[in-house]
């Protein structure tokens, strides 16, 4: 299971979720020691996997680089007070276990034969079914230990996969799905590559969605084929959170300050909207509702390609894994008490390091640094996971699990007794990890992108 892959393929794999120039960079410097958020490299670059995947991607982004700040036209949002459906509150006090180095994680395949799976989700309706998302556009139900033959939804005709990072990228079920049957998808649209957030409803068959129920909620210009973000998730406040990439290319060379730092574009952000109406609304307490020339949908900014984020189901804390440029992959944290508006730094910083230094200056005032980062000596593209709140592994409870797409290295992050974030490497998975997923009980799953396999997380001692 732990065989090695050729280092050359790392450069190739980088185009997925990461950046075109990200992975080949051999100039990464060792992580500095002044921040306790830094993960010290624990293995040399020479231990990067050395076995080539058999179906390496062939699609290369070809669209022209945009040189101007894009014009973003949201579908007539209005900042009005609203009454979102509240998520259930946690019933137990969150517990962070003490890391125990005698335990490690493993994965056990439960489904194979999928086409480039990129997400595993659940409907929160008490069925504990899993919903397996394929990048080319299909969603399958996994129930009672089996994948159902008929897709839950097939968006293949709408979704483009021209770019390696394009496709059906995100899925989230409405907090009241059990009663209203509504769910949301995020995909790259065929034709123009724009990112579309669309609402659907289940049919009279609980295992098949009504393909004709599509309602477009929000369209975000895709600019270039890479950096599309993709993640959708509902917070405990009942609002839909959306991850958007910085518009693509490399270095966020859009406009004068880049899209990540511009409050005038939806790109390079976490957005927060109220979808309890056919036309989405902007929550009145979004951080930039009253800021001139700022788009009110923005919840947090300064992000490059926050492919996967998640809420801790016990605390409501938000973890955002942001794919780096050439040197650093990072995990960002936002406590549940946050009022939003955090600037996570990109393109001023990459991880905890100055990136876009103009005339030798790097103004880091007000920027929120990551709680963990790793260099490209250890991988090429971060895949954010979840804070474990399941029952199978008491030793893992309260720890945030994430991985690297290229190397399969998996880490766990949590605060120690002094409140300092500590990150340790827990294992290495022999697959390209495109996403984690959570079932209704809080157990975790892993999507193997190239292999087409879904795994359940298991523990080994």
Supply the minimum distance, in Å, between the C-beta of residue 256 and Ca ion: 20
Q: Closest distance between Ca ion and the C-beta of residue 329, in Å?
A: 10
Interface pattern 83-122 for Ca ion (x via CB under 5 A): ----------------------------------------
The whole-angstrom separation of Cα 7 and Cα 48 is: 6
Cα torsion 265, 268, 272, 278: sign: positive
CB of 302 to Ca ion, least distance (A): 6
Of the pair 344, 405, the CB lying nearest Ca ion is at 344
CB 337 within 8 A of CB 343: no
Distance CA 437, CA 129 (A): 12
Cβ contacts of 360 within 8 Å, gap of 6 or more: none
Supply angle C-alpha 112, 114, 116, rounded to 5. Answer: 120
CB of 344 to Ca ion, least distance (A): 4
Task: Output 345 or 385, the one with its CB closest to Ca ion.
Answer: 345
In the complex with Ca ion, the residue whose CB is nearer, 344 or 393, is: 344
Q: What is the size of the binding site for Ca ion (CB under 5 A)?
A: 2
Which whole-number Å values give the CA distances from 202 to 139, 177, 213, 342, 350, in the listed order? 12, 9, 8, 36, 41
Dist. CA 423–CA 400, nearest whole Å? 9
Site for Ca ion in 330-349 (CB under 5 A): 344-345
Neighbours of 364 (CB within 10 A): 14
Residue bearing tokens 């993960």 = 39
Least Å from the CB of residue 10 to Ca ion:
22
Q: Which two tokens stand for residue 414?
A: 């949590």
CA atoms within 13 A of residue 82's CA, in its CB half-sphere: 24
> x/- string (CB under 5 A) for Ca ion, residues 345-374?
x-----------------------------
* Binding of Ca ion by 61 (CB under 5 A): no
Nearer to Ca ion, 218 or 270 (CB): 270
Residue linked to tokens 């991988």 = 379
Q: What DSSP character marks residue 99?
A: P
Q: How far is the CB of 433 from Ca ion (least distance, A)?
A: 21
- CB-nearest residue to Ca ion: 345
Decide whether 344 or 411 has the Cβ nearer to Ca ion.
344
Smallest gap, in angstroms, from Cβ of residue 304 to Ca ion?
7
Judged by beta carbon, residue 230 or residue 345, the one nearer Ca ion is 345
CB of 166 to Ca ion, least distance (A): 24
Count CA atoms closer than 13 A to 303's CA, side-chain side.
Answer: 34
49/379 with CB nearer Ca ion = 379
Interface residues with Ca ion (CB under 5 A) are 344-345
């Amino acid at each position: 299971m732990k065989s090695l892959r050729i280092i050359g393929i790392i450069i190739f794999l980088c185009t997925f979720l990461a950046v075109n120039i990200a992975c080949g960079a051999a100039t990464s410097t060792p992580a500095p020691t002044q921040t306790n958020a830094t993960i010290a490299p624990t293995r040399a670059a020479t231990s990067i996997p050395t076995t080539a995947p058999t179906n390496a991607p062939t699609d290369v982004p070809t669209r022209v680089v945009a040189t101007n700040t894009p014009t973003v036209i949201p579908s007539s949002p209005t900042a009005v007070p609203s009454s979102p459906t509240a998520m259930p509150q946690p019933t137990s006090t969150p517990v962070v276990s003490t890391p125990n180095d005698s335990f490690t994680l493993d994965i056990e395949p439960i489904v194979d034969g999928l086409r480039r799976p990129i997400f595993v989700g659940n409907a929160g309706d008490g069925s504990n079914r899993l919903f397996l998302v394929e990048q080319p556009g299909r969603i399958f139900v996994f129930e009672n230990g089996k994948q159902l033959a008929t897709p839950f939804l097939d968006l293949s005709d709408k979704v483009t996969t021209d770019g390696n990072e394009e496709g059906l990228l995100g899925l989230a079920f409405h907090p009241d799905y059990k009663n209203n049957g509504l769910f949301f998808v995020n995909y790259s649209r065929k034709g123009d590559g724009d990112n579309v957030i669309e609402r659907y409803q289940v049919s009279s068959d609980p295992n098949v969605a009504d393909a004709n129920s599509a309602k477009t909620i929000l369209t975000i210009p895709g600019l270039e084929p890479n950096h599309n973000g993709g993640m959708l998730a509902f917070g405990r406040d009942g609002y839909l959170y959306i991850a958007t990439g910085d518009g693509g290319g490399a270095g966020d060379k859009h406009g004068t300050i880049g899209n990540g730092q511009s409050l005038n574009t939806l790109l390079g952000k976490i957005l927060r909207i109220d979808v309890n109406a056919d036309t989405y609304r902007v929550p009145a307490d979004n951080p930039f509702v009253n800021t001139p020339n700022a788009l009110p949908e923005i919840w947090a900014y300064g992000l490059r390609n926050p492919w996967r984020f998640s809420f801790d189901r016990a605390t409501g804390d938000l973890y955002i894994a942001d794919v780096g440029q050439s040197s650093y992959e990072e995990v960002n944290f936002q406590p549940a008490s946050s009022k939003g508006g955090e600037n996570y730094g990109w393109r001023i910083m990459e991880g905890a390091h100055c990136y876009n230094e103009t005339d030798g200056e790097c103004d880091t005032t007000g920027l929120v640094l990551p709680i963990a980062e790793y260099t490209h000596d250890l991988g090429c593209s971060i895949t954010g996971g979840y804070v474990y709140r399941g029952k199978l592994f008491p030793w893992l409870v309260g720890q945030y699990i994430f991985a690297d797409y290229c190397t399969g290295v998996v880490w766990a992050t949590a605060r120690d007794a002094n409140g300092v974030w500590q990150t340790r490497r827990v294992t290495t998975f022999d697959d390209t990890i495109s996403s984690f997923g959570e079932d209704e009980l809080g157990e975790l799953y892993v999507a193997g992108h190239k292999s087409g396999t879904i795994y359940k997380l298991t523990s080994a001692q």
